[in-house]
Structure 1
Amino acid sequence: MTPSASGQTGAAGGPPRIMMLGDSITAGYGLPREQSLPVRLQAALETAGTPAQIVAAGVSGDTTAGGRSRLDWALADNPRAVIVALGGNDGLRAVPPADTYANLNDIMTRLKQRGMPVLLAGMLAPPNLGADYGREFRGTFERLHREHPEAVFYPFLLDGVAGEESLNQPDRIHPNPRGVEEVARRMLPSVQELLSKVQGG
């Protein structure tokens, strides 16, 4: 069993387990483990009085296709809910938005069939790919939001952090520790909404 962000597997009756299915942002690329997004998000939840165990299921370089292929394996940790935070590498590789949609739709549909509440974290494409691709890519997540209204939607995972030099590592792609804290702070209300769906049954 994979440890949670706090390093504990959790006992029955403990805080609900939430899996974060993602890529290098979830995996904490370039950061000590204790400064990764799952760990800091778990800390923010605890501080806010809504504790949960965040299971880090991030693989650096993963695309939505990769997340789709490893979903069943990742669910062996038996989470109560899932944060889907994929898509950044699709944009970096200019994957056709139709493919990104198909992969994410399959992930969300399978989670729905299992009765698992979902938070979908959206992503934006790099501006160098052009306005048309950017609109279509963003529209992929908006379409998923419309078609899966039961899911919590957080429109942009890196909201307030992307493009901010002081909040990113030298590659200007991955958040630094300050950037991670900002992502966690901004995501907190949406993750609390996800938790309410778990606790409300």
Structure 2
Amino acid sequence: MATLCCVGFLLGLVAVAPAHAADRLIWALGDSLTAGYGLPPADGFTRQLERALRAQGVAARVANGGVSGDTTAQGRARLLWGLRGLGAKPDLAIVELGANDMLRGLPPAQARANLEVILAELKRRQIPILVAGMRASPNLGVPYARQFDAIYPALAAKYGARLYPFFLDGVAGQRALIQADGLHPNAQGVRIIVQRMLPHVRRAFGTLMRDG
């Protein structure tokens, strides 16, 4: 089964927009859906999210911690040096991982264990978290889907994170919003994802939004 964007960017690459001193920092840790696979940089998730926040008067920059092809294990492996590479403690971490585990048919328990390490470390550092969930493909069967889909709400509840249940909500299955590979959203698809996720991102900031 094809993996979701099997060609990765340079490992360790964290694309950060030019900063202003008062900007809030969001770090989006993920795979190709975060990285903006197949799109010009300006049309990817992190850049569109940053523009949407600024359009609503939120001074924020969104650091692109997406690496195409990453599984939860690979995201876990680069978590600590990814945080160091930011140069500052993020005000919010968006965790979007698991699609490649699912597409490879890897055990849901394995994905859950890796995500748990990531969320536990972010919570230990007192970094607010927004978990961006994924859903299993129907062809993997009901038992697999039941186990996989349950990962995200369970871990979000356990670690006090906000949950956006399905990253591709409103886009999955819509051919006009998907690139020719049948997997990745096009620029319009990303725009819909950002519009739907934006209220969750704002709420995840909590008191930081009111203070800044």
- Using the size of structure 2 for normalisation, the TM-score is 0.88
| Cα RMSD, aligned residues only | 1.5
The runs of 5 or more residues in structure 2 that have no matched partner are 1-12
Work out the number of aligned pairs and report it. 196
Conserved 8 A contact 1:124-1:138: yes
SS of residue matched to 1:20: strand
Counterpart for residue 61 of structure 2: 53
**Paired AA for residue 16 in structure 1:** R
Return the alpha-carbon distance in structure 1 between the equivalents of residues 14 and 135 of structure 2.
30
After TM superposition, what 4+ stretches of structure 1 lie above 4 angstroms from structure 2? none
Return the alpha-carbon distance in structure 2 between the equivalents of residues 87 and 197 of structure 1.
29
Conserved 8 A contact 1:23-1:63: yes
Cα deviation 1:142-175 (Å, max 9, x = unaligned) = 2112212x21110001101011101000111100
Instruction: Quote the sequence identity (%).
Output: 45
Q: Kindly tell me: are residues 2 and 29 of structure 1, through their superposed partners in 2, closer, same or farther at Cα, counting changes over 3 Å?
A: closer
SS of residue matched to 1:53: strand
Return the alpha-carbon distance in structure 2 between the equivalents of residues 11 and 134 of structure 1.
43
Counterpart for residue 185 of structure 2: 175
Conserved 8 A contact 1:117-1:198: no
Return the alpha-carbon distance in structure 2 between the equivalents of residues 102 and 3 of structure 1.
27
Residue 31 in 1 paired to residue 39 in 2? yes
Conserved 8 A contact 1:121-1:156: yes
Query: How far is 1:135 from its partner?
Result: 1.1
**Paired AA for residue 131 in structure 2:** L
Residue 42 in 1 paired to residue 50 in 2? yes
Residue 102 in 1 paired to residue 110 in 2? no
**Paired AA for residue 181 in structure 1:** R
Counterpart for residue 141 of structure 1: 152
**Paired AA for residue 129 in structure 2:** V
Query: How far is 1:196 from its partner?
Result: 2.2
**What aligned pairs does 1:50-129 form with structure 2 within 5 A after superposition?**
50-76=58-84, 77=86, 78=88, 79-129=90-140
**What aligned pairs does 1:155-170 form with structure 2 within 5 A after superposition?**
155-170=165-180
SS of residue matched to 2:195: helix
- Using the size of structure 1 for normalisation, the TM-score is 0.93
Return the alpha-carbon distance in structure 2 between the equivalents of residues 83 and 198 of structure 1.
16
